[in-house]
Structure formats: C-alpha cells, structure tokens
Amino acid sequence: MRKKLFLLLVAICMVPLVSQEFPAKPADTATNVPIPNANGNNRAVTGFPDPVPAIPFVDVRVRSPQTGKEVAFSLQLLLLLTVISLAPGLLILMTSFLRISIVLDFVKRALSLQQVPPNQVLLGISLFMTIFIMWPTFNDIYNNSIKPLSEGKASIEEAYRQAEKPIRVFMYSQMQKNPENIRLFMSMSNLPKPRTLADVPTHVLIPAFILNEMTIAFKIGILIYIPFIIIDMVVAAVLMSMGMMMLPPVMISTPFKL
C-alpha cells in the first residue's frame, strides 16, 4: 500500500516537467494562408482583421506673411469673420425685422397669451416676413456686390460700396416722409443740413433708421393694444356686476379677442 502511494506521488510530480518539455499548441492560433489579392500579389491571411491605421496628425502653423497676396488674404479672412459675427445685428437693425418683431410682441401681449405662440415662432415669422420685404434689396446686393466679388471682377472696396447703396436707399425710403430723425442726428454730429441722400453719412443714417423703426413699431403696437384693453375692461365690469370677482377676466376675454 505504501509502495502504490509512493508511485502515485512520483507520477503527480512528473506532470509539470513533462508539460514544460512538450508545450501544447494553442487552439486559437490562426495559420497563415497566402491568398492572391487584387494586384496578383500574395498576402498572408491570419484570420484576424487588419490593423486600423493610425489617426493622421494635423498641424496648423502660424507664420508671418511672405508676400503681398498672403497679407491681402489674411485681411480678407479677418473681414469675412467680422461680417459673419455682425450679420445678426445687421439683419435686425438695418432691415424691417425690428418693426415686425416689436409689433408681433405687442399682439401677443394684447391677446394675453403667455406661452402661445413661443418666442421662437415669433422670431421665425419676423425673419421670413423680413426676407419677403427685403428680397429686392438682397437681390440687388447679390447681383451688384457678392457675385462680382466671387468672380474676381470687383475688389472688396467696390463690393462694399455696391452693397451699401441698396441698404441706404431702403433705409432712406422708410424715413423720406418723416426726416426729423435724420435732422436730429445730423445736428448732433454738427453736420450741415442734408439736401439729398448722398449728403447723409451711413453712421448717421443707421441710428436714425433704428429710432424711426422703433417709433413706428410702438405706435402700431399701441393702436393694436387699445381695442383689446377695452375688451378686458368690459369683461371685468360684467364679472364685477355679476359678483364673480374671483374669476380672472383674462379667461373670459381671450375668446372675444380671438
């Protein structure tokens, strides 16, 4: 019995030595099988997917311009970025967008509507109505300024002057019947009294146009607001006479306003 137990222990001790001398072949090792590719060359297929190429390194360097063209290109790029950053302000203040948005906000307040329609909807309506009104002006700017500049037929200075003319004509046409704002800003700038549009500088025409648009928009908004105030007063008086003082008049007057 002791002899059998001794032989069993010896056999167990010999197993690691035998496994180190004869290592087993891994089962998941793929064999290389050469197959021809599209160019006729043989390539080995290992059974694993090809390695993903490394992400390319992009290097952006800033250096001093060497020629006049590079300086001009840098200035053009700077001017383009400036125009893009100022485009929303120009669209709001130098077009009919300001008047339309103020009037629509007055209408929303007069109807006693708090959440409907949302402000984004009002801005969208104002934007598309502005595009409709300003389309002839935008068309002139594209044909006389942007298109020649993109085709290389006009310089930046010429394109700016051609783009400025339609905008100036539009702003002046809105104040032609009421030029008091132009006279106000001309006197504040110590400039002589203008006789034609050419005598009015752009830095005077723009604030005069903004003030004129805000004045007209508030006048229109108040004229729209007055009938709705009368409806609210009538509904409130009726509710007071009926003893329904706890009922908000807005809940009753809104259907009559619509």
Question: Across 22-36, 70-84, 210-224, 232-246, which has the greatest mean pLDDT?
Answer: 210-224
Of 5-9, 29-33, 120-124, the range with the highest mean pLDDT is 120-124
Q: Parse the chain into domains and list their residue ranges.
A: 96-223
Mean pLDDT of all residues in 176-180: 81
Residue 166 vs residue 254, higher pLDDT: 166
More confident position, 75 or 71: 75
Between 84 and 206, the higher pLDDT residue: 206
Q: Is the pLDDT of residue 50 over 70?
A: no
Mean pLDDT for the stretch of residues 156-170: 85
Average pLDDT over residues 94-117: 86
**Mean pLDDT lowest for which of 72-86, 141-155, 165-179?**
72-86
What pLDDT does residue 190 have?
84
Residue 181 has pLDDT above 80, yes or no: yes
Residue 21 has pLDDT above 70, yes or no: no
Q: 23-32, 174-183, 237-246: lowest mean pLDDT where?
A: 23-32
Contact 29, 47 (CB under 8 A): no
- With pLDDT > 70 as the criterion, what percentage of the chain qualifies? 71
Residue 188 vs residues 126, 172, 199, 204, 226: alpha-carbon distances, Å: 32, 18, 15, 10, 35
Least confident of 8-12, 40-44, 87-91, 226-230: 40-44
- 36-50, 55-69, 127-141, 238-252: range with highest mean pLDDT: 127-141
Q: Which residue has the higher pLDDT, 146 or 46?
A: 146
126 CB burial (10 A radius; 0-12, 13-18, 19+): buried
The more confidently predicted of residues 74 and 105 is: 105
